């Protein structure tokens, strides 16, 4: 009897040790995953920022003679100096383009480019895209919508890029809307669809929230404003206002 009791106690102790070991392993795994989730975003952000600043610095520094940089800063490398120079350059070009001489030079340059068979098509397309995106009255990427794509019963997230116009709208019986459906996790690629407006479901989420949803492959889900309390809506609105400032 004593031997049986001793054997049972031994098995119970072994089971508890195994359970404790498993629990410890699960905790370690959970801590590891939490550490990765916490550090990965800021690490990747810092790294990409560093790569971007280094890329700009390396290319801008080629514009100026190395002796100029050495005379002003010596052997010290200032991260972001190239970005400041680039921004200053764009500001100066923008100011120059607003006066008579700048507009004259731009008109002459566009006249020359317009006479080049292939270059004029590429330049015209790029210019139109930038003017559309940068225009203050542009409705591009103002709304997030859901649509049944690529087939009925399957829903996709899309961004309204404008109202369909021209020949596409003329040959379409219903009012259609230009919708850009991005791919995951790279939202810069995707598909342009001309969708009847009545088939679109407009969402309350912002474009930024929609992009996060696409990039994260659905991991980051924006809050549903329809079921949020008034206090939660005010807190969310206050947080966005503070972030903009």
Picking from 201, 221, 203, the residue whose alpha carbon sits closest to that of residue 148 is 201
Nearest to 205 by CA among 220, 187, 224: 224
What's the pLDDT at 43?
67
Higher-confidence residue: 55 or 5? 55
CATH number of 143-222: 2.30.30
What are the boundaries of each domain within the chain?
Answer: 31-119, 143-222
pTM comes to 0.50
Mean pLDDT value across the chain: 74
Specify whether the CB–CB gap between 177 and 143 falls below 8 A: no
Tokens in use for 135? 């225009």
Distance CA 181, CA 220 (A): 18
Euclidean distance between CA atoms 180 and 188, whole angstroms: 10
Confidence of residue 5 (pLDDT cuts 50, 70, 90): very low
Burial class (CB in 10 A: 0-12, 13-18, 19+), 170: exposed
Q: What is the pLDDT of residue 132?
A: 61
Q: What is the mean pLDDT of residues 49-64?
A: 73
Q: Which pairs count as long-range contacts for 231-236, CB under 8 Å and 24+ apart, including other chains?
A: none
Give strand ranges (E) for 138-225. Answer: 143-148, 155-163, 176-182, 190-196, 201-202
Decide: helix, strand or coil at residue 134.
Answer: helix
């Amino acid at each position: 009897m004593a031997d049986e009791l001793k054997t049972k106690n031994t098995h119970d102790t072994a089971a508890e040790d195994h359970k404790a070991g498993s629990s410890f392993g699960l905790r370690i795994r959970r801590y590891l995953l939490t550490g990765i989730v916490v550090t990965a975003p800021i690490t990747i952000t810092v790294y990409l920022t560093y790569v971007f600043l280094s890329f700009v610095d390396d290319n801008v520094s080629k514009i100026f003679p190395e002796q100029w940089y050495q005379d002003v800063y010596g052997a010290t490398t200032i991260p972001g100096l190239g970005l400041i120079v680039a921004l200053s350059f764009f500001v100066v070009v923008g100011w120059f383009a607003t006066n008579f001489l700048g507009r004259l030079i731009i008109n002459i340059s566009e006249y020359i480019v317009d006479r080049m068979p292939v270059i004029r098509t590429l330049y015209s397309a790029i210019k139109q895209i930038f003017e559309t995106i940068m225009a203050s009255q542009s409705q591009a990427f103002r709304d997030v919508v859901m649509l049944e794509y690529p087939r009925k019963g399957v829903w996709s997230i899309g961004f309204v890029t404008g109202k369909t116009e021209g020949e596409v709208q003329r040959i379409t019986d219903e009012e259609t809307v230009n919708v850009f459906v991005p791919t995951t996790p790279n939202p810069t690629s995707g598909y342009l669809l001309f969708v009847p407006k009545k088939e679109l479901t407009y969402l309350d989420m912002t474009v930024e929230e929609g992009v996060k949803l696409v990039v994260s492959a659905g991991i980051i889900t924006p809050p549903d404003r329809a079921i949020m309390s008034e206090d939660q809506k005010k807190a969310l609105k206050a947080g966005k206002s503070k972030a903009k400032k």
